[in-house]
Amino acid sequence: MDRNQVHRQVALMRQSFFDQGFLDEQFIQLEELQDEANPNFVEEVVTLYYRDSTRLILNIEQALEKSPLDFNKLDCHMHQFKGSSSSIGAKKVKSECTQFREYCKAGNGEGCMRTFQQLKKEYAILKKKLETYFQMARQAGPKEIACRPKPKLDICPDLEKNYVGWIPSRFRYTFSF
Amino acid sequence: MRRYRIVLAVDDSLVDRKLIEKLLTNFSCKVTTAENGQRALEILGLGDGQHNSKKNDLKVNLIITDYCMPGMTGYELLKKIKESPTMKEIPVVIVSSENIPTRINKCLEEGAQEFMLKPLKQSDVKKLSCHIMKVNKSCKGRPFMGR
């Protein structure tokens, strides 16, 4: 398969994540932060998320084994987990987190457990999809079209620097080997 | 001449710390992060047993802190900063994933410059520009509540 075909495949895969509701616009925010200084920023953040959230999932699992259930504690753990999931744009996972917290507020232990199983499924599905995606993107290599380096935006408005826009991520991506 | 804006970002989430650091760095800010309020106070030289005028304390232009943190909340951290004669002029921005009006009002009344919703976007950081400039510059920053 030639490189252009691989690039197309990667782009299609990426689009499917949004179309199928796995990711939301926060993921695009991450992509737009990626630049020459941090060419693997998105993958780094996602990797960090999966590594860090293992601990949070374990906390919730342990809390769900207690009897009686401490809904405040469960809600607190889930609040943290939801926050991280939201920060990477994990839409379906975030949705399950919200549902879980609703059950916590209602004191519904069964609901919590059911939702948590669903949450773990979505979490695992997304992980697999993103792993495949990043791997393929790395194989595809940087696009042939040269990309203008993203200018550092000057946050001080009173200076006479030009405010230059940048190419939105959906039209370009660069992944280094 | 370098024009770094020095920002202290406080958040217990590893992912969010990485995110805010990148957001601010992309806007030419120099960022120091702390994982909790206590650590933030130490960095500012306001920790227990520290004297106010240590030479190697970090001189910050802006503090961005998460609201919900174990131990000391962002609100409690805000109060401590506002109580300090050396630090009270530093603008403090509170961020939270939850849009709770009483929480927002409480923070603004205590002197928070802004209250923003997580996750932060680039447009949010751009709106903070006037707070990152020199403190003695007049700024028409109205309380802003994210989207």
Domains (range + CATH), chain A: 3-152 (1.20.120.160)
- Is the Cβ of A38 closer than 8 Å to some Cβ of chain B? yes
Which of A33, A48, A153 lies nearest to residue B15, judging by beta carbons? A48
- Which residue's entry shows tokens 């194989």? A139
Shortest CA gap A56–chain B (Å) = 11
Q: What is the pLDDT of residue A125?
A: 98
- How many beta-carbon pairs under 8 angstroms link A with B? 75
Q: How many residues are given for chain B?
A: 147
Backbone φ, ψ for residue B118 (5° rounding): -90, 155
Nearest CA in chain B to A82: B97
Which of A82, A87, A158 lies nearest to residue B19, judging by beta carbons? A87
State which residues of chain B have pLDDT below 50: 1-2, 135-142, 144, 147
Q: What is the pLDDT of residue A161?
A: 38
Predicted TM-score of the model (pTM) = 0.82
Shortest CA gap B130–chain A (Å) = 7
- Looking at beta carbons, which residues of chain B come within 8 Å of A52? 13-15
Gap between the Cα atoms of A142 and A156, Å rounded = 33
Does the complex come out with an ipTM higher than 0.85? no
Q: Do A45 and B15 touch (CB under 8 A)?
A: yes
Gap between the Cα atoms of B60 and A41, Å rounded = 26
* CB count in 10 Å sphere of residue B58: 13
Mutation choice for B interface testing from A24, A30, A73, A87 by most B CBs within 10 A: A87
Beta strand pairing call for B29-34 and B62-66: unpaired
Q: What is the pLDDT of residue A4?
A: 87
Shortest CA gap B79–chain A (Å) = 23
Nearest CA in chain B to A37: B26
Structure tokens at A155: 């946050």
Interface of B with A (CB under 8 A): 3, 5, 12-16, 18-19, 22-23, 25-29, 68, 97, 118-119, 121-122, 125-126, 128-130, 132-133
The answer to whether the CB of A30 falls within 8 A of the CB of A38 is no
- Is the Cβ of A82 closer than 8 Å to some Cβ of chain B? yes
The answer to whether the CB of B21 falls within 8 A of the CB of B31 is yes
- Looking at beta carbons, which residues of chain B come within 8 Å of A156? 3, 129, 132-133
Q: What is the pLDDT of residue B132?
A: 65
Q: Do A83 and B118 touch (CB under 8 A)?
A: yes
Shortest CA gap A168–chain B (Å) = 13
Q: What is the pLDDT of residue A156?
A: 44
Would you write out chain A's pLDDT as a tens digit for each of its 177 residues?
A: 688 899 999 999 999 999 999 999 999 999 999 999 999 999 999 999 999 999 999 999 999 999 999 999 999 999 999 999 999 999 999 999 999 999 999 999 999 999 999 999 999 999 999 999 999 999 888 765 444 455 555 444 443 334 344 445 455 444 444
Nearest CA in chain B to A81: B13
For A111, residues 6+ apart whose C-beta sits below 8 A from its C-beta are A99, A102, A103
Q: Do B119 and A79 touch (CB under 8 A)?
A: no
The answer to whether the CB of B23 falls within 8 A of the CB of A26 is no
Gap between the Cα atoms of A113 and A108, Å rounded = 9
